[in-house]
Every structure is written in C-alpha cells, then in structure tokens.
Chain A
Amino acid sequence: MTIDEVRQIILNILEDIAPDEDISSIDDNTKLRDQIDLDSMDFLDIVMELRKRFNIEVPEKDYEHLATLAGCISYLQPLLKDRLAAS
C-alpha cells in the first residue's frame, strides 16, 4: 500500500467512528483529538478497527504514535506496505 492508500484507510476508519464529523478538512500534523474530539473510547475503536481490518495489533505503548494523521501513517505504512489496498 502506498502512503496515500494508508492515509485513506485511516480516514475511512475515522469516518466510520465519527459519522457526524467532517473529516475532509483534517490536518495531518495537528493532533486528531484537537480536530475531531476523539476520546480514549474512540482511540480504542481505531485500534480495534485496525485489528479487525488488517489483523494489526497496536500495543498500548504505541498508542502515542496514533495521535496525528501523519503519525498514524508513518506507524502503519511499514506494517501495511506489503498489503494490497482493497478494491
């Protein structure tokens, strides 16, 4: 998967988790929770969605990497680079 595809995957997850939020204007380098009001319950959902969709386990010590969209991409891209994006 390319960086753009990984980015899209994360946006898809966020869109599912927060259906009322406008995710099109998310800035990659600002903390997600400052932009779309995510709490700890929602971060748990992101982690569980990654497990469900890609069988990726994010250990609790790594949660800090998911704070921004850019952080998510750089953390997940190495784990997803050999996968094909779903058609």
Chain B
Amino acid sequence: MAYDAIIIGSGLSGLAAGIRLAMFNKKVCIVEKHTVLGGLNSFYVRKNRTFDVGLHAMTNFTPKGVRNSPLGKLLKQLRFSHDDFRLCQQHMSEIRFPEHVLRFTNDFEFFRQEVADQFPKEIDGFNKLVEKILSFDELNLNDNETLGSRPILESFIKDPVLIDMLNCPLMYYGNAREGDMDFYQFVIMFKSIFVEGFAKPVGGMHYILNLLEEKFKQLGGELRMGSGVTSINAEKGSVESVTLESGEQLAAESVISSMGYIETLNHCSPSLKETDECETGKVSFMESLCVVDREPRDLGYDKSIVFFSTQPRFDYKVPNEMINVSTGVLCCSNNFNYPEPMKEGLIRLTNLANFAQWDALPRKDYIQAKKNWRNQALESLFTFFPDFRDNVVFLDSFTPKTIKKYTGHINGAVYGSPEKIKNGKTPVKNLYICGTDQGFLGIIGATLSGISMANLHLLR
C-alpha cells in the first residue's frame, strides 16, 4: 500500500504541501518526529501558559481583498478565507540605534517619511532603491545568480548607518548567512516587512497550525506524530520508501522533506557523496520570554516589535560569546490590534547565539548559563529601555540547543543553510525539499514553499 507522497515534517511547509496534495486526491502522509506540530514555528506549554516559538509576528500582512500578494496567494491556494487566519495588525514597530530611530507601520509611506526625516540626504537614493526592489522578481525559481545585497545598497545609499538599520530587521527575520544577505532574499524580506507588514493571529501559532491540520485531515490526509524518519531509501537514484524510528517502512512514489537540505541528504540510504559539499547554516538565537504583571505599554514598551542595536553599527554574525547582548529583537505580543486584550503581558527578547558553545555545556552548567546569559541580555537591554525586572511573573528561555533538539536543524540554524535550493530538487529522483532550505522565508514564505514544491513537482 504505497503513498503517492510522504512528507517529512509537520511544519508550515509540510502541512501546506500536504493540503495541496490531499486536495487533489493524492494519498499523502505527513510524518513528524516531534509530538507537536510546527517545526521552527511552533508552540509549547509551561505552567498553563502557551508560548509561541519562532513566531514573533507574521510578516507579509496584506488586507483582505489583496489577491496577488504572498498572503493572498497562500490563502487562495490553501482555500482559506482571509478571516480564517484571524490576523490582527501591529500598532507600530521600530528600528532603534544609538543615534537614529526609524519607526514603521503596515503603511509603507509612513516608513518612507521616517527615512526622509531621519536621513534627509539619503531619501533620493532610498526612493531609487525602493523602485529597484519593487520591480525585482524575487520569486523566480530558476534564477540561480546570487548577488550580495550590500554592494547594491551602497550604490544607492551613502550612510552606512542607514544601510545597517535597513538590514537589521531583514536579517533578524530571515538571513541564514552571516554578514551580508543575498539580494533576492533582501528583496523578499524588505517587501514582507516594510512594504507589507506585521500581524499576529488570535490564538497564535497554535491556532494557525490547528487550522492547517484540520484542513489536511478533512481532505483525507494522514498525519503521524512522534514518527521520526531514520532513513530515506533509494533504489537506482530513485526514492522508494522511508523507514521510521519504529522500524516500520512506508513505501512512496515521492518524498518531500522539510528537514533541511543537508539534513535530508544525511538521511538518504545509500548515502550520497554530495553531502560533504554543502554549506551548513550557523545562525541561531537565544530567546527569553518574560511574562509581566501589566500591559507592556505601561512599562514603557509601546511598540509591537523593536529591532535594536546599542552600538552605532550593526553586525549580523554568530557571536564569539554565548550570545550577543548588544543587539537583539524585542517583541511585545500585546501591542497588536487584538479584539480583546491578552490575559497577561508578554515581552520576548531574542539575541544572536553561538550553537557550539551552548552545545558543549554539560547539563548542570547549561541550566546555569541560561540564567546568567538571560540576566546579561536583560541588563544590556535596560541600558537602552526601561527596566521591568520588578514586574516579571514568569521567565523562560530557549537556546540554539533547544532549537536543534526540537527541529533537528544542524547547529540549531533557524534559517537553515545559506545555500538555498530554489527548485527543491535533490540528487535523488522524486525526493524534493521544501521549507527553510528551499528559500522562501518567514511564516508565509515557508507555507508558500510547501505549496510551490507540491505544485511544481507533484501536481503539474
């Protein structure tokens, strides 16, 4: 009893691919090693509180009725109505550096004005850059030319601080590469964050994942939780089955894997020589979740998301220490236009982190290090923002090690490998990848990745 397709991973890309295939009567099974849906964008429960991981906010917000945006396409392809996602827009976010602050909302003209006010000499160059971005075809799956974004930005903008400030949110929300970012990725992120914008679903990731799961099951799809894949078995370069941790073998005409490109090749049997040639991602994060006893805005935190650097220049790279406390991302979930206020205040703080150092710690030291580095991150934050330590009622943190444990991503690399495989092909026939390493980024991007890989390889 062979499946038309087996999908490895029940993250957004896997669920989306599953829905598309089940919609057109393919016999499809999603296998998930974890007991919870979501992969890199998931949730967990501690002391009766449900926390999102991965999701600070959904990027790519466009209003109901906009059909050609990534969100509009996603809704159409998965046959959801805009209302189904229950999206609540951000109030206002900002990029805060020592000498400049750029605020932005879901109205791009507001941001353009901020740039004009803060960097009056640069606004003409900025406007020309925006023209280039808007006319760029970043979704071309066949274009393998990679251009760094920095030289392109420098050809339009002279002030390096403005370049750093523009890069800061885009890198934090999707750059797998240290230092610079591929220009097409820069364009994807610029459109998704500045031109489109942020929103959060009522009920968080938990709600969105359940929505996708329900649709997948209604369409006849099969979902197996707690079923890690130990090997993807190929015969003469063509995939035939996958073996689960239980020893069970599932035969399939095709396999779509969201494990990551190298992670997928590593699971192939017989093993592939290509595995050694791939670049692994290194960018990972530590995040602390601080539940506070009042609305964050009453503590001086009135923005939805803040991308900050306490230093004049911003460098996106794996820190030499456990984490980099001088820059980070703050997310106040409360500061979105929810129909009803959230029960508690929640402030999340995300910092770049070094996987190897976290991974090397013995258990006892690891727990202690989490506390120490969380304290240092907060102390650094409070040199720049109001202190809320007296208002904290619950604290929890996760590290690159946690991310590796639950997602299987090498190095806990949140955005996967710097080398993206846009067409999703692997050296094995009928084995494709989707998700992070295919190259569409963010929550909407991951979902579109699953949709486009299913369309391109299995439905055409």
Contact = CB atoms under 8 A, between A and B. Distances in A.
B24 A37 contact: no
B382 interface: no
Interface stretch (B79-87, B182-190, B312-320): B79-87
B75 interface: yes
A27 interface: no
Contact of A19 (B24, B65, B68, B81): B81
A39 B77 CA distance: 11
Interface stretch (A2-10, A40-48, A73-81): A40-48
A59 to B, nearest CB: 13
Interface in B52-107: 64-65, 67-68, 73, 75-77, 79-82
Contacts of A52: 24-25
A42 B78 CA distance: 11
Given A48-B459, A52-B24, A41 B73 contact: yes
B391 interface: no
A37 to B, nearest CB: 4
Nearest to B459: A48
Counting chain A CB atoms within 10 Å of each CB, the highest count among B65, B68, B75, B76 belongs to: B76
Given A37-B67, A48-B459, A18 B24 contact: no
A44 B455 contact: yes
A15 to B, nearest CB: 10
Contacts of A19: 75, 79-81
26 contacts: A17-B79, A18-B67, A19-B75, A19-B79, A19-B80, A19-B81, A20-B64, A20-B65, A20-B67, A20-B75, A20-B81, A37-B67, A37-B68, A39-B67, A39-B68, A39-B73, A41-B76, A41-B77, A41-B455, A44-B455, A44-B459, A44-B460, A48-B24, A48-B459, A51-B24, A52-B24
Interface of A: 16-20, 37, 39, 41-42, 44-45, 48, 51-52
Given A19-B81, A41-B455, A42-B76, 16 more contacts: A16-B79, A17-B79, A18-B67, A20-B65, A20-B67, A20-B82, A37-B67, A41-B77, A44-B459, A44-B460, A45-B76, A45-B77, A48-B24, A51-B24, A52-B24, A52-B25
Interface of B: 24-25, 64-65, 67-68, 73, 75-77, 79-82, 455, 459-460
User: Which 9 pairs of residues, A with B, have the shortest CB-CB distance?
Assistant: A37-B67, A19-B81, A48-B24, A20-B81, A52-B25, A52-B24, A20-B82, A18-B76, A19-B79
